Structure 1
Amino acid sequence: MSRTTTPQVLIFDADDTLWENNVLFERVIEDFLDWLDHPTMDRHQIRGVLDDIETANAVTHGYGSKMLLRSLHDCFTRLRDRPATTTEHARINQLATALIDHQVDLIPGVADTLTDLGDRHALLLLTKGDVEEQRRKLDASQLAHHFRDVHIVTEKDVATYRDIIARHGLRPSTTWMIGNSPKSDIVPARAAGLNAVFIPNDNTWILEHAVFDESDNQVLALRAFTDLLDHF
């Protein structure tokens, strides 16, 4: 695909597309595994238990640092077969403070690329998770002014994309969803009739992995965020 001269609508994911996110969660999980030091289960087995707990908690409690913290407590209770003591509870909470206090680290080239793209195209932001937490990250990123509208949703599924299309009166043929998650950004966007841009991130959360049709001509796979300028 060569650089288009026709104005497009570009919808951007946030976490792990505009700024690093899951790498911070992974550091917390690694610290938790170090601290837990289970007597009979190795790290891989414990991580499998935690992944299952996170999958279940995401359905009822959404996404973000609060869900991870709940999952760490639930994982401790399941593996120790007892609730955490006051001291243990405080230690688990302490492990997750980095997620709350950490400053946002933008993906290289994001700010300049958005500035350039915004001169030619309409930019929207679509992110899922806790509203307060996502707003805090967006404010810290200083990127909000690039977007004509910001949508923070509990889940990014086909219904979500159809709602965005209807709300903004979008033409699917000139609208692109841009993100790192096959599960949330590529598969449901294509099912809703939008084009998609896949920009992989090595630290994408395992629960965001999914298979999509790599031969699909309406899915553009790029190596880096700045490569968007070669196409839009």
Structure 2
Amino acid sequence: MLNRLPADERRAQLVESAMGIAERGGVSSVTIRAVAEEAGVSLGVVHYCFESKEALVAAMGEALVLQLSQAMRYAFGQAHADEAQTGLRGLRELLHSGLSAMWPIIEATPNRQLLTYEITAYGLRQQAAGAELAGSIANKQYSTMDAEAVEFLERSAEHTGTRWAEPVPDLARFALAVIDGIVLRWLVDRDGEAVIASLDDLVQMVTGKAVEV
């Protein structure tokens, strides 16, 4: 049965096997042979789907971006559905609800969050060495998250009758950079209370960039 999986399902299976290996031992532990053993397939099957480790890591990065994007969209969608207030107070509560809904998703997957950072660093190193395929992952990761954050900020302003006084892409970039730092620090000290305080500060700073229409 394994050998008859459709190509897309086979690739997804191998990517998930590779991520399981990387979560346990880091990206350096991901090899074609290790993935074949993890997935219970032959080396030839893995080589057929991925011509190199770089191609496999690139697919891992794409899968992580998709998972993060879906989680972010779900959390922000819940916030929009729950909040009904308007004005700057409503905007502040809406931003807080979105981040609060997103955090449990991050907190429940620490190894996958760490892997996201590791794949980004791996991609940048490969890009510096001339491997553009793996190197493109970092750019795609951030461009995708930028797009999700921009959409949330724009919809939040429209929803609350406010507008942003600064370019929304700049605000999204700033907010995501802060969240990146918050998540990385949490991976180090697992201080959930500090995360809540930091997210509150972020909401206050971002809301300060908006005005009521």
TM-score, L = length of structure 1: 0.30
Higher percent of residues as strand: 1
Q: TM-score, normalised by structure 2?
A: 0.32
Structure in which a larger fraction of residues adopt helix: 2
Greater relative CO (CA pairs within 8 A, separation 6+): 1
